[in-house]
Amino acid sequence: MWTDTRPAAELPRLFEKGADVISLAGGLPDLDVLPLGDISQQLARLVRLGGKLALQYTTPHVAKALVPAVADLMAREDGHADAGNLIPTSGSQMGLTAVALALGTPGDTILVQTPAYPGATAAFRTAGLDLHAAGEDADGLCPQQLRTTVRELRAAGRTVRLLYVNPTFQNPTGATLSVPRRAEILTACRELDLLLIEDNPYGLLGFDGTTTTLFQALDPQQVVYLGTFSKIFAPGLRSGWIAAPEHLRYDLARVAEIISLSPSALAQGALAAYYSRSGWTELIDRYRDSYRERCTLMADALDAELGADSPWTWQRPGGGFYLWLRHRDGADATRYAQAAAAHGVSFVPGGHFSIDGEHNDGLRLCFSNVPRKKITEAVTRLAAALTETPAVARELAEVSG
C-alpha cells in the first residue's frame, strides 16, 4: 500500500498508559462530567422505541433531529449550520480525511498552521498532499507571509488551494487567533483563492466561557468547517460534522459516503435525544469548570516547580486541553522524554507536531484527563526530568532501559 511508504502518517500512541506512569500525553476529555445515569436511560429508551431504526444503516445526512443541536453549537461562536450545508462524519479525523480526499489532488500542497495536530498532517499525507508551513508572527498565522508563501510556491509550479488552521485553543499550543487577524487571513484567502479548513474541536472550552467568532461565521463561502461532539459530549460516539459552502457540499458528501457509507443513526439519535432533553449549556459548563481547575493546578505546579529562571517557558491558555512548553535555548524536548518516562510521567515532544522537523524545542502537556490529585505529582516528576542536564537525562534514560 503506497501509504506504507510514509511513516510520518502514523499517529503517535498517545492513549496507552503504563502502570506507574502519569500520562500527560493523550488528549482525552474528562468523562467524569457526563451524566451517565441520564444517558443510560436515554439510550435504553432509544433502543426500545427506535432500535430498528437506530441500529439500521441510514442515509448519509446529518439527521434532521440532530441539525438543531449542531446549529446551537455553531451559533455559540457565531457560525451557521442548516440541513443544507452539513455532512456527517465519525468525528473530525474523518472530516480531515474527507476534506483532503475531496478537495485536494495528490501532489497538491496544503498550507498548515504549525505546530499542527498530528492527526491532521497524517490525514493530509495519506491523501497524497504535500505539506508546507504557513508563516507566523507574534499574532499567529500571518496573512502577509501567507501571500508570499503561496506566490512562491505557485511560481515554483506547485498547486496550492488549501489552508488548514486550528484557530481556537490550538492543539498543541493553546493559542487563539484574534478575530481581526482571522478577517485579515480571510482577505488573503480570497485574494489567493485559498479554501480555509477550520478545525475547531476546542472552541467552546474557554475556561471563562469566552468564545471567538468562527472563520466560518466571517466568510461561509471561503471556509470548510469541521465540528465534533467528541469534546463537548463524548468521543466514544464517533460523531461530528462538516459545514461546507454549497458548491463543495456534493463533493464532500460523496467522499464521506465512500469512507463510512452512513453515519451511526444510534449515535445521532442519542445526541439528538440528549440535546432535546438537556441542551448543551450545562454539560459544556461542566467541561469548562473541569478543565479550568485542572489547567490552574498544572500551571500553578509548573510555576512552583520550574520557576521564573527555568529555561522552559509557557503561557497559561484560556481554554482547551493543553499547555505548551518551549525551551529558551532550543533544546530538543525528545531528549527529555525518556528521562521523563524514567521519572514516571509522559508528554508529547514538540517534534510530533512538526511537518518538517521543526518545533523540537517544544513539548505538549495535556491536563484534561489527569486525575486532579495526581497533577502536582506529575509536574514534580516532569520538573525533575526537565531540570536535569541533557547528559544526565540521557544517562537516566539509559539506566532505566
The residues binding another protein (CB under 8 A) are: 42, 45-46, 48-51, 53-54, 58, 63-68, 265, 268-269, 272-273, 276-277
- The least distance separating another protein from the CB of residue 212, rounded to whole angstroms, comes to 26
Q: Which residue has the cell 486525575?
A: 371
For another protein, the closer of residues 227 and 263 by Cβ is 263
* Burial (0-12, 13-18, 19+ Cβ within 10 Å), 106: exposed
For another protein, the closer of residues 67 and 342 by Cβ is 67
- The least distance separating another protein from the CB of residue 120, rounded to whole angstroms, comes to 31
For another protein, the closer of residues 8 and 47 by Cβ is 47
Q: Which amino acid is at 72?
A: D
In 14-159, the DSSP E strands lie at 22-23, 86-89, 109-113, 130-134, 136-137, 140-141
- The least distance separating another protein from the CB of residue 272, rounded to whole angstroms, comes to 5
- The least distance separating another protein from the CB of residue 50, rounded to whole angstroms, comes to 3
The set of residues, in sequence order, having a beta carbon less than 8 Å from that of 114 and lying 6+ positions away, is 133, 134, 136, 353, 354, 355, 358, 359
- The least distance separating another protein from the CB of residue 287, rounded to whole angstroms, comes to 23
CA distance 199 to 320: 13
CA distance 375 to 23: 10
For another protein, the closer of residues 44 and 261 by Cβ is 44
C-alpha cell at 3: 501509504
For another protein, the closer of residues 79 and 269 by Cβ is 269
CA distance 180 to 195: 18
Q: How large is the greatest C-alpha to C-alpha distance in the chain, in angstroms?
A: 64
CA distance 400 to 345: 13
Edge-to-edge, what's the strand order for the sheet holding 195-199? Answer: 86-89, 240-243, 223-228, 195-199, 160-165, 109-113, 130-134
Q: Which amino acid is at 355?
A: I
For another protein, the closer of residues 223 and 270 by Cβ is 270
What count of Cα atoms within 13 Å lies in the side-chain half-sphere of residue 228?
Answer: 24
- The least distance separating another protein from the CB of residue 68, rounded to whole angstroms, comes to 4
For another protein, the closer of residues 87 and 265 by Cβ is 265
For another protein, the closer of residues 40 and 105 by Cβ is 40
For another protein, the closer of residues 15 and 57 by Cβ is 57
- The least distance separating another protein from the CB of residue 82, rounded to whole angstroms, comes to 11
Instruction: Please provide the distance, in angstroms rounded to a whole number, between the alpha carbons at the two ends of the chain.
Output: 34
The set of residues, in sequence order, having a beta carbon less than 8 Å from that of 112 and lying 6+ positions away, is 120, 121, 124, 131, 132, 133, 134, 163, 164, 355
- The least distance separating another protein from the CB of residue 58, rounded to whole angstroms, comes to 8
- The least distance separating another protein from the CB of residue 269, rounded to whole angstroms, comes to 5
66 with 173: CB under 8 angstroms?
A: no
* Burial (0-12, 13-18, 19+ Cβ within 10 Å), 282: exposed
